Structure 1
């Protein structure tokens, strides 16, 4: 084994530091591409947060790289109360992935309220709840509340789909 390979053995966190640095650089470059005229009413402007995020990502990347090169190592995942030797429960994962894909495919056609209700109901069903009516009522309430929360609270228009004239 070469001297460089021996020195870097067990330092896989350097790859993560490089990824953080690359993402920070990408965010910084993207922030420089924003065209936002100066406004008297908003002197901070829309570029402040991307610059801050980029600076934090780059600082974390440097901090992590220095820590790893000084001999620091991340702790192995303890898994909290999860048995790490237990295999993946595909009967849970596959329905969750299917519900998320259905939401992606249906949101423009059916609208957020219906696709969101399907997403919420399907998620709790996949995770083991068997209170179908209660879960459906909660799912519809959540999707309507999030629809109006985004619309009224944030000014973000989620697709209404087939409920266009109703909502």
Structure 2
């Protein structure tokens, strides 16, 4: 099989597989903690590396989309505003993450997280605003409680004061 016969998925999978092998090599170099613990600091990187390797292997055998479907998608994207195309949605997501990072210290973790989750789910088409708001608030407060009370991580209180 020459390089010209590789599909886009196969080329991407080879890159993912190579990166995951490199990542696993580094993960196995993380020193173990001196005292015995059920979960050590090297467990998560190793699990993540193996999952990435597995997904890379599965991607290698995944079929590419038919070219006619790609042409239809491209024609549909030409009719959409820039922020609704594939690249536009990525740009909006990246800008949202940058705004989240910049506002985190000022506004606070809970409020910034709630606005971030609500805003992106609304942007990507979820229109049930009450459910979206409830889920955003539960996730924001839930993560805050887990991180501050459960794990002892300091999070910026912001304008809400907690």
What band does the TM-score fall into relative to the shorter chain? Answer: 0.5 to 0.7
Matches within 5 A, 1:63-142: 63=57, 74-76=63-65, 84=73, 85-87=75-77, 88-92=80-84, 93=89, 96-127=93-124, 129=127, 134=130, 138=134, 139-142=136-139
Matched, 1:27 2:23: yes
Q: Is the 8 A contact 2:108 2:157 kept in 1?
A: yes
Secondary structure of the residue aligned to 2:76 is: coil
Classify 1:59/1:99 alpha carbon distance in 2 versus 1 (closer, same or farther; 3 Å): closer
Provide the rounded CA distance (Å) in 2 between the counterparts of 1:124 and 1:73: 28
Provide the rounded CA distance (Å) in 2 between the counterparts of 1:44 and 1:24: 22
The alignment's C-alpha RMSD in Å is 4.0
Determine the structure 1 residue equivalent to 2:33.
37
* Deviation of 1:19 (Å): 1.0
Provide the rounded CA distance (Å) in 2 between the counterparts of 1:120 and 1:8: 41
- The answer to which structure has the higher helix fraction is 2
Determine the structure 2 residue equivalent to 1:9.
4
The one-character-per-residue Cα deviations of 1:39-59 (angstroms, maximum 9, x if unpaired) are 23x266332443344345446
| Structure 1 unmatched runs, 5+ | none
* Deviation of 1:130 (Å): 8.7
Provide the rounded CA distance (Å) in 2 between the counterparts of 1:116 and 1:57: 27
TM-score, with normalisation over the residues of structure 2?
0.62
Match of 1:145 among 137, 142, 146: 142
| Structure 2 unmatched runs, 5+ | none
TM-score, with normalisation over the residues of structure 1?
0.60
Count matched residues.
148
Provide the rounded CA distance (Å) in 1 between the counterparts of 2:119 and 2:30: 39
